[in-house]
A and B are shown apart, each in its own frame.
Chain A
Amino acid sequence: MTAVSQGVPAAHAAGTPAAPPAPPPHSPPSATAAPAPAHRVRGALAALGLVPFAAYVLAFLALPTALAVGSGFVDADGGLTAHNLSALADPVVLRTFGASLWLSALSAVVGALLGAAICYALLGLRPGHPARSVVEAASSVLAQFGGVMLAFAFIATIGLQGLVTLWLKDGLGIDIFAGGAWIYALPGLIAPYIYFQTPLMVITFLPALTGLQTQWYEAALTLGDTRAGFWRHVGLPVLAPSFLASLLLLFANAFSSFATAAALASQGAQIVPLQIRAALVSETVLGRQNLAGALALGMVVVMAAVMWLYSRAARRAARWRR
């Protein structure tokens, strides 16, 4: 596979033989041009093929991002200002960012540990094993179907009339809502977040864990190491960068999540995405649209830092992959 791939010179070399012998009847018109400029013409034609996709990405990825971040620097009359950015220092906004970071970190760590345990349990099964297929499919669904449905599930489980709530109250005499209806506030988001973080961990971490070479284990045993010793000296150090990369991805996932909180939280804006919505939909206060821009800029800065760390961890993790 690797023998066929990569490299600009290879691409040119691969293209050359087609020109001197009689060109095939269906070849594009550019192939009939003189050999030397032909490369340039065909290269330009190939690049031209990128135009539709480039235009699409420009219009629906680059432009919205630029507009979102840019609107943080514009005031209500369209003039340039850094005033909105001062909103990022507002105590309420700071507290919301703190809550978002804290919720993301907690759910990422718990989800990563739970997910890693599931991957470890799957390690003994070969790739086509039915149990493994079920776990993989369930992980894809649950990681993707967060949001509104997840909120329903947790209201049915630990809501005021939820199955577990009633069971604890009637069966064991424990009222989990004695201290107030916390399920609709920030603490209520923890369990649902862990619920969608864990499957994502399974999806992202399983390839790294199954990539662990059995030969390394056998070599360690041959050299007189124990099973625990193998994990301490070889397994965990090799997996550490992959684990860290997955953990950071989970953090980013939780930090950008909106739907679960929107469907669960009854009022208030406990996390940054909800605060952006509040700023977006409130039309009574002038210039709030630009506050949304400033908040979006804050999120982008956090995400950029996380993704930078992620790419570093991922690069270290790739060292052990073949």
Chain B
Amino acid sequence: MRRGLGPGPATRTAIALVVGAVFLVPIASMVEFTLRDGDGHSLVHWATLFDPAGAGKYAPIREGLVNSLVLAAVTVAIVLLLLAPTMVLVTLRLPHLRRPFELLALLPVSLPAIVLVVGLAPIYRVIGQTIGTGVWSLALAYGVTALPYAHRSIQAAIDAIGVRTLAEAARTLGSGWPTVLLRVLAPNLRGGLLTASLISVAVVLGEFTIASLLARQNLQTALFVVNRQDPYVAVILSLLALALVFVLLLAIGRAGARGSGARPEGS
């Protein structure tokens, strides 16, 4: 039914070919680069990935990956345990704060990470002196950078279900607030909460600026370091991370599209 507005098959194919070429060539170049072996091509660099002898060389990557996963977990915890309940509270009890809250959540988009770092440096000096320099503390900063994306996903889920009606019904039937939150609202919002969590994970796995300037190790800073010793491994791991997040988001997108099939589009 939308066919009337869209372009014809010829135009569509032309756009797809041009854009596909422009966006696939750099990815293909990365793949080709990892297969280079002298003047020919082989899988030798991919094999080194599983070679225990080279393990020392990749130690920064392993450490960076573990750090990034810890940071992702803590960031997701901030989103699920701090942001989501606050958004539900605002929706149910303080609806007049909805617009200001939305503006606040969008603020980090307009605040360059590098500016944030200038101000975070002294704060993290204090944190380091009081609660230690554990890597997880960096997630407190990442929660802010992920805030706009997480907020958008959760807000969409809140708008899609009648949060207020559900909560009132559950309260009328005698549920306490913990039951309302955990057993009534959370299951209904799970699509939005899942999307918010995954986007937060993507943000954390792709973050470089803050970790680099505060001299912490994460996946991206480790890739940056390893690239100096063995660019092949750095590129291979980049490709793997890219593929992993793409598959995750694709799966979520497909699940979401199936779930919203009955809803009118464009709303």
Contact = CB atoms under 8 A, between A and B. Distances in A.
B77 to A, nearest CB: 12
Interface stretch (B43-51, B66-74, B160-168, B182-190): B160-168
Contacts of A122: 6
Interface string B210-240: 0011000000100110010001001100100
Contact of A306 (B110, B234, B242, B245): B110
A110 B214 CA distance: 33
A69 B16 CA distance: 44
B238 A149 contact: yes
Contacts of A27: 171, 176
Nearest to B249: A137
A217 interface: yes
Contact of B108 (A28, A61, A69): A61
A204 to B, nearest CB: 11
B120 A64 contact: yes
Interface string B1-24: 111111100011001100100110
A236 B110 CA distance: 27
Instruction: Place the interface of chain A in its size category.
Output: 35 or more
A280 B266 contact: no
Interface string B88-121: 0110011111100000100111111111111111
A252 B110 contact: yes
B193 interface: no
B250 to A, nearest CB: 4
Contact of B95 (A11, A49, A59, A154): A11
B203 A152 contact: no
Contact of A1 (B118, B159, B175, B227): B159
B4 to A, nearest CB: 6
A11 B94 CA distance: 8
A124 B235 CA distance: 36
B58 interface: no
Contact of B238 (A133, A148, A212, A258): A148
B95 A4 contact: no
Contacts of A114: 19, 22
B110 A303 contact: yes
A178 interface: no
A255 B112 contact: yes
Given A141-B202, A217-B5, A276-B114, A8 B96 contact: yes
Contacts of B109: 249, 252
Interface string B22-56: 11011111101100000000000000000000000
Given A64-B120, A148-B223, A256 B112 contact: yes
A163 B27 CA distance: 11
Contact of A120 (B15, B94, B120): B15
A56 B223 CA distance: 30
Given A26-B174, A46-B93, A258-B209, A123 B2 contact: yes
Contacts of A149: 206, 220, 223, 238, 241-242
A63 B144 CA distance: 12
B141 interface: yes
Contacts of A69: 119
B253 interface: yes
B122 interface: yes
Contacts of A5: 95, 164
B6 to A, nearest CB: 3
A25 B120 CA distance: 46
A71 B118 contact: yes
A211 B266 contact: yes
A292 B108 contact: no
B4 A259 contact: no
Contact of B123 (A56, A63, A157): A63
6 contacts: A65-B116, A66-B119, A121-B15, A152-B30, A163-B25, A214-B2
Interface of A: 1, 4-8, 10-11, 14, 18, 24-28, 42-43, 46-47, 49-50, 52-53, 56-57, 59-61, 63-69, 71, 114, 117-118, 120-128, 130, 133-134, 136-138, 140-142, 144-149, 152-154, 156-157, 162-164, 195, 198, 207, 210-214, 217-218, 221, 235, 249, 252, 255-256, 258-259, 262-263, 273, 276-277, 280-281, 292-293, 296, 299-300, 303-304, 306-307, 322
Given A56-B140, A123-B2, 8 more contacts: A46-B93, A57-B144, A148-B227, A163-B32, A207-B266, A256-B115, A280-B121, A280-B213
